[in-house]
Amino acid sequence: MRRYAGAYTQPENSLRAEAAKSSARSRARTKRLLESRQSVLADDEVELWKSANVDLMSDEEDGVVGVVSGWIVRPPSFRRPDLSELCVKLQSRLEATPKYRATHSRRLHNGPASERTPPVTYNPEEANGQFTEL
């Protein structure tokens, strides 16, 4: 079924359209974060990083800590602790790079774990041990 161009301009659909746009922007940002972190991997970290994917990256929300604005970072509760530790290391390496700092919002604070649920497409046989057992 094709939608006509004005379908999302209807009042009842405007919230749904905004949520879809926001979700797409967030997913694209998360994909770029995954790729950026991959670019600073050390040889001995490659094997663990193979289990990383977009669904395992942290949620980031606009926020203010003190008077500084930036991102509040909330890692998914289902991500393995060793992968979380690796993400922190890789993020530190990225933020040590002046070019990265100049083009990305500041990550201000690690908040509580995200309440996001594991993806519905999760297949334990293909997961390569990427999730913690809940």
- Let me know the angle formed at the C-alpha of 21 by 16 and 24, rounded to the nearest 5 degrees: 125
Residue found under tokens 């919230």: 15
Q: Give pLDDT tens digits for 21-48.
A: 877 887 888 898 899 999 999 999 999 9
Q: What is the DSSP string of 79-119?
A: B-HHHHHHHHHHHHHHHTSHHHHHHS--EEEE-SPB-PPPP
Q: What is the pTM of this model?
A: 0.70
Q: Give the whole-number percent of the chain exceeding pLDDT 70.
A: 78
Sequence-distant (6+) residues with CB within 8 A of 81 are 132
Sequence-distant (6+) residues with CB within 8 A of 13 are 7
Per-residue pLDDT of the chain (134 residues; tens, 9 = 90+): 455 555 556 666 788 887 788 778 878 888 988 999 999 999 999 999 998 998 888 887 777 778 877 778 888 888 889 999 999 899 989 989 888 888 876 776 677 788 888 877 655 455 555 554 44
